[in-house]
Structure 1
Amino acid sequence: MSDVEFFLQGHVAHVKLNRPKSLNAIDPGMDKALLDAWNEINRDANIWVAVLSAEGERAFCVGADVSKGTDRASRMALGGGLTGIGGPLVTLKKPLVAAVQGYALGGGFELAMCADIIVAASTTQFGLPETKAGIMGECGVMHRAIRQLPYHIAMAMILTGDRLNAADALSHGLVNEVVDHANLMESATRWAEKITAASPLAVQAAKMAVLQRLDWPLEVALATRFEPIEEYAFTEDRQEGARAFAEKRKPEWRGR
């Protein structure tokens, strides 16, 4: 079995970390395999949404496998560039659902925060152990945490190394849903199916619009054009949406 499994189910791409004995720590080979997965998801028009998960109950991912060392010359950035830690940032054009359980620490926590939807098992523990362990390298996870959590919650995690459990993560809006571990993949798949029920081109244009204008002042973002949304007006899916609405039926999206 590969340390990173990649397979398709309909319009959903599944990416699974598969090193449970190492708590799914990401080594250079996994980093490259993840980059290949993200590139394929971006390339394949038949893929409308992706689900990131991990094997085993103990951990989603504890970050980089420090025992394997780091080849800076060939590094794709942790998580295949999805996090951008210490390397290039890969922007996933399709929506990403993360199914998280057990330990999600350091870079593993950041990998989860790269998702658009997070489903967490009740066993999940999010954490930034860097300061507590006295090991400070790249700090991308801190930049994301301070943007996705209330300031004082994020700073408490950063400064003390204390972990955030699933229930508290839900209360702070970090995750969308908390379920028993046995129901984790069922829930993540349900979220993916809800996304595929929408127009894939509209979803992709909406995601890119949000990401590209996220740090802009609101008045500037509102006043700017966004070409992918304008281009969507001339697609087959836009016409199908209008027909389905008029005919009071579910649309049949084609992604064109």
Structure 2
Amino acid sequence: MLRKVVVCAVAVLGSAALNAVPATAIVGGSPATPESAPYQVSVQSEGWLGKSHVCGGFLLSANKVITAAHCVDGAAVPKLEVQWGGLNRDKLPMSSSVTKITIHPQYNSADLANDVAVLTLSKSATEADGVKFARLATSDPATGADVTVTGWGRNQRDSTNVPQQLQAAQLPVLSRDSCAAVYSEPGAPFDTTGRFCAGPANSEKAVCNGDGGGPAVLGGAVFGITSGGGPGCEKPSLFSSASYFKRWLESQ
């Protein structure tokens, strides 16, 4: 979930970002199974060395993909491609070019508020061969519940390498007060409207570089869109609330 970056360490955004930086791989995860995220996609961008994985995302319908706004902010439509249909990001059997990028009109790159976007595909996906369309939750997950996150981002904080196999981890949801406390600074309270935090306090499991835009799933429904985390991927992870943005996402 790097913004305009493919496989680099995330730059700290400064005090205005309230210590929140775009999320980029699963730290402390394990290889995902086909059932973990049948709607998972890899959002890729054309560069000097060809197409490379930039962020995650997931299929909402035949030609709509949900991802994080920071993943595609400033991206050129002709350079984007979405691939899906498997666990190995280098051997995903289905792909489509992108015809339209729709970023939430209130997206704020400084603090990652409203960090959601919808990509329109030129080629329709089908629910076959293990591929499914995601169902968005109608409420936020309960405090303490474990959401399953998936991604091809970094799985070690001190490495720029990203795994070929999709990784998965379960993260416990924090209370809104705990989430705000993690990211607030003196004189700059953190607004949790439209988002939630998940992850153990010791950060042994977290999203990291390359995971942005991916799903946070509970009970077969997508409850969150991976947004960001603290510098070095050492804070509980931030997710945009699927239920909060449900109407907007489904209307695009």
TM surpasses 0.5: no
Normalized against structure 1, the TM-score is what?
0.23
Q: Which has the higher contact order (CA 8 A, sep 6+)?
A: 2
| More strand by percentage | 2
Normalized against structure 2, the TM-score is what?
0.23
| More helix by percentage | 1
